[in-house]
Amino acid sequence: MRRQNNSCGCPGFLPIMSRRGFLQTSSAGFGWLACTGLMGKPSLAASENQIPQFVAPVKNVIFCFMDGGPSHVDTFDPKPALKAHEGKAIGKEAVSKRSQSNASRVWLGSPWKFRKRGESGLWVSDLFPHLASIADELCVVRSMVGELPLHGQQNLLLHTGRIIGQAPSMGAWVSYGLGTENNNLPAYVVLNNDWVPNGGLENFGSSFLPATHQATQVRAKGSPVDNIQPGDPLVLQKRKLALLAEQDFAFATQASEASPIESAIANYETAFRMQTLVPEVADISREPEYIQREYGVDSQDEHQHYYATQAIRARRLIEAGVRFVEITCPSFDSNNSPWDQHGLLKQNHEKNARITEQSVAALITDLKRRGLLDETLVVWAGEMGRTPHTPKITATCGRDHHVNGYSLFMAGGGFKGGMAFGETDEFGNSVVEHPLTIHDIHATILHQMGIDHETLTFRHGGRDHRLTDVHGHVIREILS
């Protein structure tokens, strides 16, 4: 299945027409095109933005969200000094107001060995054997700095660029800026694994952007999307939708703000068209057995099975023309975020790695094999890292929240593979070289998609808003 290029822009202003003319010209029996004319400047802005501002290598993004915060010093940032000083107090000089720390805490070494991988010699720990096998594809950033050691705020920062939320997510901005390549599918899809991260659905929302740009959620188990299976014959559906459109159109002519009405009608229209294509894209049963095994669909662990299923769907969705796909992590502990190991670090980090990393490595390998990795960017990131210290060394100890320095990686999409950028100190406690914020990552992702992060804006509340707010710069050192 290859991507389709059948997107279209908004048609601008249309005259108000008779009921008969309205119904005759409505798309699929209802009036998105007519109501678009009522939108005025918001519609025109969306139309103007749906063109890359310069030639770009990336058409699609797949964001593998590692909810809870994987430990940087146990994955991509080796720190031998931790093992050498294990059990010794960190002291006042290592205490930070940004992360959970006090002078009496003690350094905790990694239970996994680090090795140089691939031709590049990129350091990857034994926790990630499958990702280690494709180390030459990974661009690791080791110098991320967050704002608050709280899951909700850091999740919102990662997704929306704001710790308080009330702003569109990165996927919504991409949808607003570029539109969809396939009018039968939304531009932004979240492949959910039955877990809503801290910060809630705002992580995937459109906020003040038109509601057409919020994420469509596709669940791992059962029916992928609620109410997507047609319950009525097509003719009857069209008649129902025509009636809804007529009523909405009449209301829109009297409303002071037509944008929410136009968005609702557009969403009805998208849902109508999705009925046939979404079940087809979500059905991985026709994938070759070796592909399913490569991703881990055959795993006896149901969490790994469903994560692998969603990873294959991610590839199928971007092939079908979806711009931005996010895969969330499943949680095997209903009380905690998936990677949030304050205790039982070794046991639970290994479980999370087993659930996710084979599928992520297979996804990157599969995209490269199909010639799609150059135009698809895979982003692997949690909202924070973990402290390189712990209150006390025990058999069940863990690591706490840490935003002074942590790691993430990108693969494909014009990023240099087999490299690490930025450094933390000898203990992994704070950044000492090339400190970066999520605004810098957002700016660089948009740049690779052909968008200047400073000019992709939306007027709301009396000022122009953007994903990066007043921050961010393109990290050119990591681009090929």
- What are the tens digits of pLDDT across the range 143-164? 999 999 999 999 999 999 999 9
**Other CB atoms within 10 Å distance of the CB of residue 351:** 19
- With CA atoms as reference, report the closest residue to 204 among 231, 230, 239, 167: 167
Two tokens, residue 202: 């705002």
> What pLDDT band is residue 1 in, cutting at 50, 70 and 90?
very low
Q: What does the pLDDT read at residue 37?
A: 35
Percentage of the chain beyond pLDDT 70 is: 82
Task: Please check the confidence at residue 374 and state whether its pLDDT lies above 70.
Answer: yes
Mean residue pLDDT across the chain: 87
- With CA atoms as reference, report the closest residue to 188 among 326, 286, 293: 326
List pLDDT tens digits, range 217-265.
999 998 887 765 655 566 776 777 677 777 777 776 766 555 676 666 6
List pLDDT tens digits, range 10-66.
333 334 444 434 434 444 444 433 333 333 333 333 444 556 788 899 999 999 999
Task: Please check the confidence at residue 404 and state whether its pLDDT lies above 70.
Answer: yes
- Mean pLDDT throughout 204-214? 94
313 against 41, higher pLDDT:
313
> What pLDDT band is residue 455 in, cutting at 50, 70 and 90?
very high
- Mean pLDDT throughout 447-458? 97
Domains of the chain, residue spans? 58-225+284-478
DSSP helix/strand/coil, 259? helix
93 phi and psi, to 5 degrees? -65, -20
Strand order in the sheet with 324-327: 216-219, 188-192, 324-327, 60-65, 376-381, 406-412, 138-144, 419-421
Task: Please check the confidence at residue 205 and state whether its pLDDT lies above 90.
Answer: yes
* Residue whose token pair is 């087999």: 418
- Mean pLDDT throughout 116-131? 98
CA angle, residues 214, 311, 72, in degrees to nearest 5: 90
Task: Please check the confidence at residue 98 and state whether its pLDDT lies above 90.
Answer: no
Q: What does the pLDDT read at residue 358?
A: 98
Would strands 463-465 and 458-460 be described as parallel, antiparallel, or unpaired? antiparallel
Q: What does the pLDDT read at residue 440?
A: 98
Tell me the CATH number for domain 58-225+284-478: 3.40.720.10
| 406 beta partners | 144
- With CA atoms as reference, report the closest residue to 151 among 386, 365, 323: 386
Q: What does the pLDDT read at residue 23?
A: 39
Q: What does the pLDDT read at residue 55?
A: 86
Q: What does the pLDDT read at residue 10?
A: 38
Would you say 360 and 311 are in contact if contact means Cβ atoms under 8 Å apart? yes
Would you say 160 and 167 are in contact if contact means Cβ atoms under 8 Å apart? yes
Task: Please check the confidence at residue 396 and state whether its pLDDT lies above 60.
Answer: yes
- The whole-angstrom separation of Cα 329 and Cα 67 is 6
Task: Please check the confidence at residue 181 and state whether its pLDDT lies above 80.
Answer: yes
Q: What does the pLDDT read at residue 233?
A: 65
* Rg, C-alpha atoms of the chain: 23
